[in-house]
Amino acid sequence: MITISIVILSILILYKLVQYTVNLKAQNNHSMADIIFVMIICCLLFIPMLHVDKRQKSKFEKRVLAKTPVLVKKHKLNLNYGKDFNAWFSDRFCGRNNAIKFNIVLTCIINSNNCKSGEITFDKKHNLLYREFNFWGMNPLEENKDEILKLYAKNLNKFNKYCNNNKIALYVLLVPRQADFFDFEMADKRKNEPNPADEVIDYLIKNTNTKIIYPTEEMQLANKETPVYFKTDHHWTKKGAYVGYNSLIKEIQKDFPSVPILEEKSLKKYYDKRVSEWWDRKFNTGQTYKQIGLPKFYAKRVLDTKYVYYKNPYKKNLKQVQSKYAEIEHDVQFYYPNGANKNILVIGDSFGCNLFEFLPYSFKNSLYLYNNPRGFKFKNYKDTIENYKPDILVLLFYTPNIPKFAKLYSEKSVEKEIK
């Protein structure tokens, strides 16, 4: 029915277009150039109909597209057919994704303040950040703050007790949020509001026996020299990861003095404007850049900042182990003969990937388990911990992922748990 309707309308419009151009020449004595121009404009109106997207979901927009309209519903005429057809065609016309990208680029170029796209905010300086009041994941914090904080502390204390019983030293490395390292005010005014992570971390330090490392000051100092966060990716740079690594090892050395630090001065520095947010990943434009929909031709305008990278002369002695504990992508195990004779296990989010640019050089055996796909639940790691037998266990999380502590010993969400 839709196809027939489009064909009939197209024939009628084409007929009127031809009739109009003939009259335009005969009656108004317009030039052929004017007529051709009008015809081109009219023909362009048909381009959106050249290809209709038939998918149910849009990967680019991460949502379900409008359903195909029905003229008759349950033997009754659908009086909203026009609106349904408009929504369906608006979601599926030819070139929609490119039109969205063009709109984003145009807005970013002409807007003197800020422009937004979903959960990501960016400005004229091309700094791209997640809008953390949505990304933060702690919406019930103010309403049920005490219950949530108690739950975090309870689970960490329980896990710390388990580690002590198994003669494992537990450390928690929390990575400061990206917004703390840019010198501009975002549209959501984060620079004028307290970081909710600060309150949570202060509470955990006071109410748990866990050793918590939160290297905000160290990273802010390093940021004056070179960026500790990428502009087009929400991960820390190699410099940021090194500062986190250095802070972690200094804390570990209080209990294990024999653990060496990979000195930054022993590494050869070089600079590149592109992003490398994983220890084993090639250069790219950045995850946030890709998610916001900016096209490749815009990359030269955005990638205007030099980031420090390192060439490690000791890398030739580092061996990646075929690990029986590596169950999913990005799990990795290393052996380094010159490291401390200790086993270290890191359970963490994607920030652990750049951390492993440096950490394996401090220990003979190091294992990294990527928690994002498998979830942060004790039962998912119990067997590995007891078989690998780490001397040191590190929980590594970006501060917006702190709510994962609530699920360590529970299948329920934070909201259900506190009730």
Q: What is the pLDDT of residue 31?
A: 64
Q: Are residues 188 and 46 in the same domain?
A: no
Q: Are residues 74 and 151 in the same domain?
A: no
- Examine the domain organization and report whether 80 and 149 are in the same domain: no
Question: Can you give the pLDDT at residue 42?
Answer: 67
Residues 329, 213: contact at Cβ < 8 Å?
no
Do 72 and 220 lie in one domain? The reply is no
Is residue 191 domain-shared with residue 279, that is, in the same domain?
yes
In a domain? residue 117: no
CB 292 within 8 A of CB 250: no
* Same domain assignment for residues 355 and 256: yes
Maximum CA pair distance of the chain?
97
| 162 within a domain of the structure (yes/no) | yes
Task: Please check whether residues 224 and 347 belong to one and the same domain.
Answer: yes
Q: How many domains does one find in the chain?
A: 2
Looking at the fold, whether 27 and 85 belong to one and the same domain comes out as: yes
Q: How far apart are the first and last CA of the chain?
A: 53
For residue 36, the enclosing domain spans 2-57+68-93
> Do you know the residue count of the chain?
419
Q: Which residues contact 116 (CB under 8 A, 6 or more apart)?
A: 122, 131, 187
pLDDT given for residue 188 in this prediction: 44
Cα→Cα distances 86→54, 66, 74, Å: 15, 9, 21
Contacts of 265 (CB under 8 A, 6+ apart): none
In a domain, 123, yes or no: no
Residue 279 and residue 151 in one domain: yes
Ramachandran angles phi, psi of 281, nearest 5°:
-105, 145
* pLDDT at residue 112, as a whole number: 37
User: Structure pTM?
Assistant: 0.72
**pLDDT of the chain along its 419 residues, tens only?**
656 666 677 677 767 766 766 665 555 555 666 666 666 776 766 677 777 777 777 665 556 778 888 878 777 888 888 888 888 877 777 777 777 666 666 655 554 344 444 455 555 555 665 544 333 334 445 567 888 889 999 999 999 999 999 999 999 999 998 877 875 444 444 445 567 788 889 999 999 999 999 999 999 999 999 999 998 888 999 999 999 999 999 999 999 999 999 999 999 999 999 999 888 778 988 887 777 666 677 777 778 889 999 999 999 999 999 999 988 888 999 999 999 999 999 999 999 999 999 999 999 999 999 998 888 999 999 999 999 999 999 999 998 888 889 889 975 544 443 33
Say how far apart CA 51 and CA 403 lie, in whole Å.
Answer: 44
Q: Residue 126 domain-assigned?
A: no
Phi and psi at residue 149, in whole multiples of 5°? Answer: -65, -40
Examine residue 121 and state whether it is found in any structural domain, yes or no. Answer: no
With respect to residue 62, please indicate whether it lies within any of the assigned structural domains.
no
pLDDT at 30: 56
Q: Supply the pLDDT for residue 113.
A: 40
pLDDT of residue 157: 96
The percent of residues in the chain predicted with pLDDT above 70, rounded, is: 71
Question: What sign does the CA torsion over 22, 28, 33, 39 have?
Answer: negative
Q: Is the CB of residue 232 less than 8 Å from the CB of residue 288? A: yes
Q: How far apart are the C-alpha atoms of 410 and 419, rounded to whole Å?
A: 13
Q: In this structure, are 270 and 156 located in the same domain?
A: yes
- Quick check: is 38 in a domain? yes
pLDDT of residue 26: 56
Indicate whether 74 and 216 sit together in one domain.
no
Same domain assignment for residues 318 and 398: yes
In a domain, 124, yes or no: no
